Amino acid sequence: MGETRSTADCTVDLGPMTTPLVDILQGLKRNTFAWAKLWVLNGAPDQFYPNEHHIITTALVPFRARYRDATEEEQHNLQQFLIGK
């Protein structure tokens, strides 16, 4: 079962796959987190951003793989969580 996480603006019920995604995000450095958020909120494009630093791209590999394995509902929950961040 998932858990509930809150930001200043919203509370989101997270599914079992979403919770590890949030845990990964919260462990990232600020700039890496910003690129992860941008990627998710832009629809998780297959092509990474040309000006994304290669170290950030490498750091996001596990997060991106887990995000793609998540259900649509879990992806939506994470998007809602990030919108509140």
pLDDT digits (tens, 9 = 90+) for 14-30: 555 567 888 899 899 99
pLDDT at res. 5: 45
Q: Using CA atoms, how far apart are residues 75 and 15, in angstroms rounded to an integer?
A: 9
User: How much is the pLDDT for 11?
Assistant: 52
Parent domain of 66: 4-83
| Residue among 70, 82, 76 at smallest CA distance from 35 | 82
Spatial contact of 26 and 85, defined as CB atoms under 8 Å apart = no
What number is the average pLDDT over the span 30-57?
94
Query: Can you give the pLDDT at residue 66?
Result: 93
Rounded Cα distance between 16 and 13, Å, is 10
How many domains in the chain?
Answer: 1
